[in-house]
Amino acid sequence: MTPRYTLKVLTEFASAHSLRDYPGDCRRLHGHNWKVEVEVVAHALDSVGMGIDFKVIKRAAAEVGDRLDHHYLNEVEPFDRINPTAENLAAYFFQELATLINDDRVKISAVTLWETDRASVRYTED
């Protein structure tokens, strides 16, 4: 049986957006204090006994979050073209983090983006 270690970190950022073509109040400018939960899977440990240092995951998540923090998302690439929905933001985080973290031992397995304390979306890829 192959070992599987799932590591998680939580980061946050604040930003505003408006949802294009949305038939409700969210079409107007509004903001969120987003929380981003990043899950990384490791199938082997390094020589220290870690799948990946939590600091590495935190640094990568902060790097991606800093691109969006205190910005109007509709003006930030790629959300100047695609709707800045929670679903699209979760996919964006996943894909950007994968380029920063994935290697032969570890990979991003899921990103959960919390729009509020009671509403989130979880993005994974098969």
Residue 122 token pair: 């979880």
Distance CA 107, CA 96 (A): 12
Taking CA atoms, 111 is separated from 23, 108, 120, in Å, by: 27, 8, 10
Residue 71 in marked binding region:
no
Among the listed residues 26, 43, 63, 87, the single catalytic one is 26
Catalytic residue check, 115: yes
Residue 12 token pair: 């946050």
Among the listed residues 70, 75, 87, 125, the single catalytic one is 70
Helix, strand counts (H, E) of the chain: 2, 4
Catalytic residue check, 26: yes
Q: Would you list which residues are annotated within the binding site?
A: 17, 30, 32
Residue set of the binding site for Zn(2+) = 17, 30, 32
Query: Where in the sequence numbering do the catalytic residues fall?
Result: 26, 70, 115
